[in-house]
Amino acid sequence: MAEPIFENILRVRDYECDTQGHVNNANYQHYFEVTRHDFLEKVGLNFYQLHLKGIDAVVSRVEIRYKVPLIGMDQFRCTVTSIEKSGVKYIFHQEIIRLSDNAICAKAKIEVVNLVNGKLSNPDLFDKAFKDYL
Protein backbone atom coordinates (compact mmCIF):
# COMPACT_ATOMS: atom_id res chain seq x y z
CA MET A 1 0.00 0.00 0.00
CA ALA A 2 1.43 3.40 -1.01
CA GLU A 3 1.96 6.04 1.65
CA PRO A 4 -1.02 8.42 1.80
CA ILE A 5 -0.50 12.10 1.06
CA PHE A 6 -2.54 13.04 4.13
CA GLU A 7 -4.19 11.28 7.05
CA ASN A 8 -6.27 11.95 10.16
CA ILE A 9 -6.54 9.73 13.20
CA LEU A 10 -10.18 9.62 14.32
CA ARG A 11 -12.35 7.60 16.73
CA VAL A 12 -15.88 6.29 16.25
CA ARG A 13 -18.38 7.94 18.56
CA ASP A 14 -21.16 5.76 19.94
CA TYR A 15 -23.95 7.85 18.42
CA GLU A 16 -22.56 7.16 14.93
CA CYS A 17 -23.50 3.49 15.18
CA ASP A 18 -26.69 1.74 14.06
CA THR A 19 -28.63 -0.96 15.93
CA GLN A 20 -26.14 -3.62 14.81
CA GLY A 21 -23.32 -1.63 16.46
CA HIS A 22 -21.74 -0.72 13.10
CA VAL A 23 -20.97 2.81 12.01
CA ASN A 24 -23.90 4.03 9.92
CA ASN A 25 -22.87 4.29 6.28
CA ALA A 26 -23.52 8.06 6.06
CA ASN A 27 -20.87 8.72 8.71
CA TYR A 28 -18.13 7.37 6.46
CA GLN A 29 -18.83 10.27 4.10
CA HIS A 30 -18.46 12.66 7.06
CA TYR A 31 -15.08 11.14 7.93
CA PHE A 32 -13.92 11.50 4.33
CA GLU A 33 -15.11 15.11 4.21
CA VAL A 34 -13.44 16.26 7.42
CA THR A 35 -10.20 14.71 6.18
CA ARG A 36 -10.41 16.55 2.85
CA HIS A 37 -11.07 19.84 4.67
CA ASP A 38 -8.07 19.23 6.95
CA PHE A 39 -5.98 18.43 3.86
CA LEU A 40 -7.02 21.79 2.38
CA GLU A 41 -5.75 23.47 5.57
CA LYS A 42 -2.43 21.63 5.17
CA VAL A 43 -1.96 23.07 1.66
CA GLY A 44 -2.89 26.59 2.82
CA LEU A 45 -6.58 26.75 1.89
CA ASN A 46 -9.36 27.29 4.40
CA PHE A 47 -12.73 25.95 3.26
CA TYR A 48 -14.76 28.63 5.07
CA GLN A 49 -12.48 31.54 4.11
CA LEU A 50 -12.68 30.45 0.46
CA HIS A 51 -16.49 30.52 0.73
CA LEU A 52 -16.34 34.09 2.03
CA LYS A 53 -14.38 34.98 -1.13
CA GLY A 54 -17.04 33.37 -3.36
CA ILE A 55 -15.10 30.15 -4.00
CA ASP A 56 -16.88 26.91 -3.11
CA ALA A 57 -15.47 23.41 -3.52
CA VAL A 58 -18.54 21.17 -3.82
CA VAL A 59 -18.86 17.42 -4.05
CA SER A 60 -20.35 16.36 -7.38
CA ARG A 61 -20.08 12.57 -7.02
CA VAL A 62 -19.32 10.06 -4.27
CA GLU A 63 -18.47 6.38 -4.67
CA ILE A 64 -17.82 4.48 -1.44
CA ARG A 65 -16.94 0.79 -1.21
CA TYR A 66 -17.68 -0.56 2.26
CA LYS A 67 -15.34 -3.42 3.18
CA VAL A 68 -15.25 -4.10 6.95
CA PRO A 69 -17.50 -2.24 9.40
CA LEU A 70 -16.15 0.10 12.04
CA ILE A 71 -17.78 -0.29 15.45
CA GLY A 72 -18.12 1.93 18.52
CA MET A 73 -14.86 3.39 19.86
CA ASP A 74 -12.71 2.00 17.01
CA GLN A 75 -9.78 4.25 16.18
CA PHE A 76 -8.99 4.64 12.51
CA ARG A 77 -6.94 6.50 9.94
CA CYS A 78 -8.84 8.41 7.29
CA THR A 79 -6.54 9.16 4.39
CA VAL A 80 -6.23 11.00 1.13
CA THR A 81 -4.25 8.47 -0.89
CA SER A 82 -4.09 10.47 -4.13
CA ILE A 83 -5.68 13.28 -6.13
CA GLU A 84 -6.33 13.37 -9.86
CA LYS A 85 -7.54 16.21 -12.04
CA SER A 86 -9.92 15.67 -14.93
CA GLY A 87 -11.11 18.83 -16.65
CA VAL A 88 -12.60 20.98 -13.87
CA LYS A 89 -12.93 18.02 -11.46
CA TYR A 90 -10.58 17.02 -8.70
CA ILE A 91 -10.88 13.33 -7.84
CA PHE A 92 -9.89 12.40 -4.31
CA HIS A 93 -9.06 8.77 -3.57
CA GLN A 94 -9.51 8.06 0.12
CA GLU A 95 -9.41 5.15 2.56
CA ILE A 96 -10.46 4.40 6.11
CA ILE A 97 -8.18 1.93 7.90
CA ARG A 98 -8.91 0.54 11.38
CA LEU A 99 -5.85 0.97 13.61
CA SER A 100 -6.26 -2.21 15.68
CA ASP A 101 -5.68 -4.54 12.72
CA ASN A 102 -4.97 -2.29 9.70
CA ALA A 103 -8.16 -3.53 8.01
CA ILE A 104 -9.36 -1.36 5.15
CA CYS A 105 -12.90 -0.51 6.20
CA ALA A 106 -13.90 1.71 3.28
CA LYS A 107 -12.50 3.14 0.07
CA ALA A 108 -13.86 6.22 -1.66
CA LYS A 109 -13.56 8.06 -4.93
CA ILE A 110 -14.93 11.57 -4.43
CA GLU A 111 -15.25 14.11 -7.24
CA VAL A 112 -15.15 17.80 -6.36
CA VAL A 113 -15.80 20.80 -8.57
CA ASN A 114 -15.35 24.48 -7.84
CA LEU A 115 -17.88 27.24 -8.09
CA VAL A 116 -16.71 30.84 -8.22
CA ASN A 117 -19.56 33.20 -7.46
CA GLY A 118 -21.94 30.35 -8.24
CA LYS A 119 -20.44 29.47 -11.65
CA LEU A 120 -18.49 26.32 -12.45
CA SER A 121 -14.86 27.35 -12.66
CA ASN A 122 -11.27 26.20 -12.44
CA PRO A 123 -9.60 28.50 -9.90
CA ASP A 124 -5.82 28.44 -10.26
CA LEU A 125 -5.35 28.52 -6.49
CA PHE A 126 -6.40 24.85 -6.23
CA ASP A 127 -3.99 23.80 -8.98
CA LYS A 128 -1.20 25.69 -7.18
CA ALA A 129 -2.12 24.22 -3.79
CA PHE A 130 -2.30 20.64 -5.18
CA LYS A 131 0.72 20.88 -7.53
CA ASP A 132 2.84 18.50 -5.46
CA TYR A 133 0.03 15.91 -5.35
CA LEU A 134 -1.48 15.81 -8.87
- Is 1 a domain residue? no
Are 76 and 63 a contacting pair, CB within 8 Å? Answer: no
For 12-132, where are the E strands, in sequence order?
Answer: 55-66, 75-86, 89-98, 104-116, 119-121
| pTM of this structure | 0.95
Residue 41 lies in a domain: yes
Residue 59 lies in a domain: yes
CATH number, domain with residue 16: 3.10.129.10
Number of domains in the chain: 1
Residue pLDDT, tens place only, 46-83: 999 999 999 999 999 999 999 999 999 999 999 999 99
Radius of gyration of the chain (CA): 15
Inside any domain, residue 33: yes
Domain region containing 16: 6-130
- Model pLDDT for residues 26-41, shown as the tens digit of each residue: 999 999 999 999 999 9
